[in-house]
Amino acid sequence: MLSVTVPYGRHAIDDADLSSVAAALQSDRITQGPRIEQFEEALAAAVGARYSVAVSSGTAALHLAALAAGIGPGDILLTSPITFVASANCALYCGAQPDFVDVDPLRVALDPEALEAYLQKPRRAGRPRAVVPVHFAGHPADIERIAAIAKARGLIVIEDACHALGATWTDSAGTTHRVGDGSHAQMAVFSFHPVKHVTTGEGGAVTTNDRALRDRLRSLRSHGIERDPKLLRQREGPWYYEMQSLGYNYRITDFQCALGSSQLAKLDEFLARRREIAARYDSAFRGHPLLEPLAQPARSRSAYHLYVLRLRGACASRRREVFDALLEAGMGVNVHYIPVSWQPYYQDRFGFRRGEFPHAEDYYRRAVTIPLYPALSDTQVTWVIDTVSSVVERVAAVASNV
Ligand SMILES: *Cc1c(COP(=O)(O)O)cnc(C)c1O
């Protein structure tokens, strides 16, 4: 069994987090208490949106966002193949069709030109209704252009912002936006899984500026049940509630939200440390003949959820050797992501084939994710840089001798 000494991502929990959770657990309400709304308000403020609805996971947030948007049978939801499967699965949960639009090779995010081309000539029967751009690795996608295309074609935009809490970008008029602020998309989805920027264990949220969407999301989070007397059809008595739509139990608990608020208070600190580490990696790897880091798009600041290297030169076709050697050295490397269109379920059910999304697939074959999280020490960062550099040089030297 290999022992990984430095994982690719890790949560950072301190004493303040522990005492917030302990206080929540000692209170009267450990599930639906006041800390949920407090966390929702703090999150909305952090991203600059009017509302947020916290739920049990990022996947639940994607599902409810698609449902609240009215996505259903006959509809097509478009996303990028380079993402976690949940970004596409949310279409399936609603009875809609998922489909993919290739990535732009620089951002590795949904390419607005490919989106426009798709909408002019859809590949399958159905009505394109929603687009789910992913802010890959924490670098903002070109949301301004994607939103303009979506608006012209009547599509809803749901940002998968699970990598991008705290990322910012500047629009063509010079206004700076925080990802998830609702300025260009109807909704944005976040995850609080332990590898993400802030954690609640499992957890997620949708942010929006639309009050009606907020109300729908809240209702769907808890079985579609309404208790507000103003919204009920009948008035049977104080015990009375009505199930008015088919919802789920996607609630998050009070003590998870206690952790979330405590973590969120450290978001700026976490982001600063992630950016500091990414800058060290950038200066070590930018221009390296065997490595090509993802570039932060112009006029934006990444939230650096992931640090991805693309192998090139003699290492371009030797990802497996490089990956194995890094793992052997104790580095918790990873690959984000296998194109969703390659997943057996997607191939069997929808007939996706390898070769359909050339930019996504070329990226995937060369990608390696190296460690990036706030608790990584300067010594560990140096070790990562030295180990990656010597491994790629060794693999390239072996390649030139065969
Ligand atoms: C983490 C993640 C999700 C899912 O979030 P969970 O909280 O794990 O359900 C969805 N999309 C992307 C891009 C993610 O990184």
- Dihedral sign of CA atoms 13, 15, 20, 25 in order: positive
Beta strands in 41-120 (DSSP E): 51-55, 75-79, 97-100, 103-104, 109-110
248 sits in the region (left: phi over 0; alpha: psi -120 to 50; else beta) called beta
Which atom of ligand 1 is found nearest the CA of 202? 7
Tokens (6 digits) for 374:
């706030």
Among 193, 196, 200, 252, the mutation site with the greatest number of ligand 1 atoms within 8 A of its Cβ is 193
Instruction: Output the pLDDT for position 295.
Output: 86
Q: What is the mean pLDDT of residues 361-387?
A: 97
Answer whether residue 379 shows pLDDT above 90: yes
CA distance 75 to 96: 5
Can you tell me the distance from the alpha carbon of 239 to that of 235, in angstroms, rounded to the nearest whole number?
10
User: What's the 136 CA to ligand 1 centre distance in angstroms?
Assistant: 11
Q: Where are the alpha helices (DSSP H) in 99-251?
A: 112-120, 143-153, 211-221
Percent of the chain with pLDDT over 90: 92
Tokens of 333: 């490397």
With cut-offs at 50, 70 and 90, classify the pLDDT of residue 252: very high
pLDDT of residue 2: 57
Ligand 1 atom nearest residue 204's Cα = 7
Does the beta carbon of 204 sit less than 6 angstroms from any atom of ligand 1? Answer: yes
What residue type is assigned to position 170 of the chain? T
Q: What is the pLDDT of residue 124?
A: 86
Q: pLDDT (tens digit, 9 = 90+) per residue, 157-196? A: 999 999 999 999 999 999 999 999 999 999 999 999 999 9
User: What average pLDDT is seen over the chain?
Assistant: 96
307 vs 287: CA distance, rounded Å: 16
